Structure 1
Amino acid sequence: MKIAIVFDDCMRLGGVERVINNLADYFSDNFNYTIEVINYNMNSKKQNFIYNSAVKITDLTIKNTKKDFISKFINKIKMRKKLKKHLEKNKYDIILCMAALSNILVAQVRKGIDAKVIGTEHVPYDGHSLKTKIKRRIFYKNLDALVVLTQEDYDKNAKYFKNVSIIYNSIPDTFKYENYNVESKKILAAGRLTEGKGFDILIKCTREAFEKYPDWNLEILGEGEKKKELGSLIEKYNLSKNITIKNFIDNMEEVMKEYSFFVMTSKYEGFGLVLVEAQATGLPVISFDCKSGPKEIINNNIDGVLVNAENENEMSKAIVSMIEDKEFRKKLSKNAVINSERFRNEKIGNEWKELFEKMIKKKSV
């Protein structure tokens, strides 16, 4: 089976990019699929992900140094034509579009392309801008199937689009449990330093904990436009001795073993893959019950802790409680490892395989 995975930039650091890397390698290694990852706006300055040698990486980016509206508009038209020509020429069986903008782009150039086109969502239904929502309603009719990440998103999308299914994001086998360091006094958070990730809320929510337990600290791993602002907030609350912001690292599965627990204060998530990654390594997790992923990952007070969305007081108390209750952390760690097994590549990969085969069967009828 010949599969094209379409995205703007698969080498940029981020959750969707990690998912693409994981799926492409798994499909190639385990199902003997011919995989090509097609990028139409690749601007990463370095290669942040390593793909298997059998996976082909294609860059269709049309470089444009001019920033005026007309130049950008012309560039978009050229890029669409280039992508359409490439998709027509290479005769794929499946075109897998990653995230809404890629779904819309391929749906716009779909006419004349014989492959089955599957769209995927990585932002909750209500998280899209009005412009994107309108485009989705217009162009998603050209998709053969749409894959979402949560039941909540399924319920909303199934009202408007055909052939919607749920397939969770998966984690590679490199995320595995070896031991839980219950004596660690380090708290971990990770993600892009953007408004939606709520790191400003997290910083505020740790003040009570660090007043009581000044020998504990928080490390935030991430990069993004809010870095300077978050640094100023840390200084404002005199937390420089307790909170540090570091760049993303490649070997998260190794680093996670150094921490006591993981905290996520996102305002919304498409899924929350980093929660699963943390659980797989045995880290207890605390997360806001934001739309729309955490409640489908965490069983509250069994393998993690769910806090009402954006409730700063409740989150502050949850962090303090986690620090104070070593036995609770040990219980969560044990159950987290068990819970993470349902997100393993073998299970999720087979769900993708079933969908692909179903699509190909329809194509041949």
Structure 2
Amino acid sequence: MRIAFVIANAYGMGGTVRTVFNLAEGLARHHEVEIVSLTRHKAAPFFAVPEGVRLRALSATGAAAEEEGADRPGPMAAWWHRRARAVVPEAERERNKSYSPEAVAGLRRYLASTRADVVVGTRPGVNLLLSAWAPARVLAVGQEHINLDEHAPEVRAAITRRYPRLGGMTVLTSADRTAYRELLGAGDDWLEVMPNPLPPRRLPRSTLDNPIIAAAGRLSPIKQYPKLLEAFSSVAGKHPEWRLRIYGGGKAEDRLRSEIVRRGLSNQVHLMGRTKDITGELAKASLLAVSSRVEGFGMTIIEGFSVGVPAVSFDCPYGPREIIDHERNGLLVPAQDTDALGGALLRLVEDREARVRMGGQALLSAEHYALEGVVERWEDFLRRRLAAAGRA
């Protein structure tokens, strides 16, 4: 098969970029795979492009555009941009700024000329454009990385109208499949649960003895890091040798630093910034903490599992409850209950035997997300959808 993934900005850092690169790497072993980026803001992507995978950008912005001496959009680009605005709701365009005239005109040209058998969109706006613009000879598949409840009402309305035109769709969790099935009336053959895969790397294993709790993800309100600071205070007061390391970047960094100072945790909480090797960093920790209001999946949890680190998480909607088996490979506490989150962290800080037991089970759980198995599921799904479309 010739398979293309269309992503908003493959040159940035984020969970969608990381997991799409992982999946593309696995599929490229037996198929022709390319990643198509709506935009490019710098010369080289943050993550290394997998071997055997082609990366192309449809437009450039910022410094990348200046390097190329990019011209202002011409009349045709402006025309296709107007067409795209009629397809992609404003809420989606505001959430992601990649839908520029150059980008959407480039996508239209790409779809008209591509030799790909399958084109996979990776966010709602791209999926909507594929539903409207993909030629009949191409199997257009929508891939959702955000659960349905997180979409604005106007985006949900567009999804209801246009997603049934796609040739298939994947979601990350069973709960989200149920939500989309109820919204779209879709059958199981058309709508599939596909978890994000782990990269095929030889990974280190945590000793579970370092006095470090890790957290990872964009520094944004949805991650609720102030609540994590409050929960960690329960540990910090009784065990001052323990540290909390938070990996990620974002606009909320200054506010979070101020909150760390306000709580008197400057010596115990460290903002580590972005990293290309999150599993290597997680292997230095003994616990993973998740304080999110909601998770689309919980990639960091399975990355922690892959190096033998158990997770302590809010039982927030979607991801964590489908990954963490309470008391087996980690602990789930009621959503938004910071006292319970702090108590669970403290329990595993003080009980090494429980940490080790759960860490061992975490390693076993990670096998469910191995790249080879996820790739086989994707291959089977795509073959079935191509057959249903009469292109087996």
Q: Is the 8 A contact 2:28 2:52 kept in 1?
A: yes
**Which residue type is aligned with residue 125 of structure 1?**
L
Residue aligning to 1:183: 209
Contact map agreement 2:111 2:133 (CA 8 A) in 1: no
Secondary structure at the residue paired with 1:255? Answer: helix
Q: Which moved more, 1:37-46 or 1:217-226?
A: 37-46
Using the TM superposition, give the Cα deviation of residue 17 of structure 1 relative to its aligned residue in structure 2, in angstroms. Answer: 0.7
Task: Please list every run of 5 or more consecutive structure 1 residues that lacks an aligned counterpart in the other structure.
Answer: none
Deviations 1:35-84 (A, max 9, x none): 11111123257521112342111110264899xxxx89667455333212
Report the equivalent of 1:296: 322
Aligned CA distance change for structure 1 residues 46 and 211 (closer, same or farther; 3 Å): farther
| 1:102 equivalent among 119, 123, 126 | 126
Residue in 1 that maps onto 2:195: 168
Q: Is the 8 A contact 1:9 1:44 kept in 2?
A: no
Aligned to 2:87: none
Work out whether 1:326 is the aligned partner of 2:352: yes
1:49 is the counterpart of 2:47? yes
User: Which residue identity lines up with residue 119 of structure 2 in the other structure?
Assistant: I
Corresponding residue to 1:123 among 134, 146, 149: 146
What corresponds to 1:80 in structure 2?
Answer: 104
Give the match for residue 6 of structure 1.
Answer: 6
Identity of aligned residues (%): 23
Secondary structure at the residue paired with 1:364? coil
Within the alignment, does 1:194 sit opposite 2:192 as a pair?
Answer: no
Contact 1:80–1:109 under 8 Å retained in 2: no
Q: Distance in 1 between matches of 2:299 and 2:147?
A: 14
1:348 lines up with 2:346 in the alignment:
no
Deviation at 1:324, TM superposition (A): 0.8
| CA 1:326–1:21: 2 relative to 1, 3 Å | same
What SS does the corresponding residue of 2:109 show, helix, strand or coil?
Answer: helix
- Where does residue 261 of structure 1 map in the other structure? 287
Secondary structure, aligned partner of 1:206:
helix
Greater shift after overlay, 125-134 or 184-193? 125-134
Q: How does 1:216-365 map to 2 (within 5 A)?
A: 216-364=242-390
Q: 2:168·2:191 contact (CA, 8 Å) conserved in 1? A: yes
Opposite residue 359 of structure 1, the aligned amino acid is R
Matched residue type, 1:97 = G
Q: CA deviation at 1:180?
A: 3.3
Give the superposition deviation at 1:91.
2.5
Q: TM-score, normalised by structure 1?
A: 0.93
Aligned length: 357
What's the CA shift string for 1:8-53, capped at 9, x where partnerless? 1112111111111101111112x2x111111112325752111234
Structure 2 CA distance for partners of 1:318 and 1:201, relative to 1, 3 Å? same
CA distance in 2, matches of 1:129, 1:44: 30
Unaligned runs of 5+ in 2: 66-71, 73-77, 83-98
Q: Which residue of 2 aligns with 1:58?
A: 56
State the secondary structure of the residue aligned to 1:82: helix
What does the per-residue CA deviation read over 1:215-274, in whole Å, with 9 as the maximum and x for residues that have no partner? 111010110011001000000001000001011212222222211111111111110011
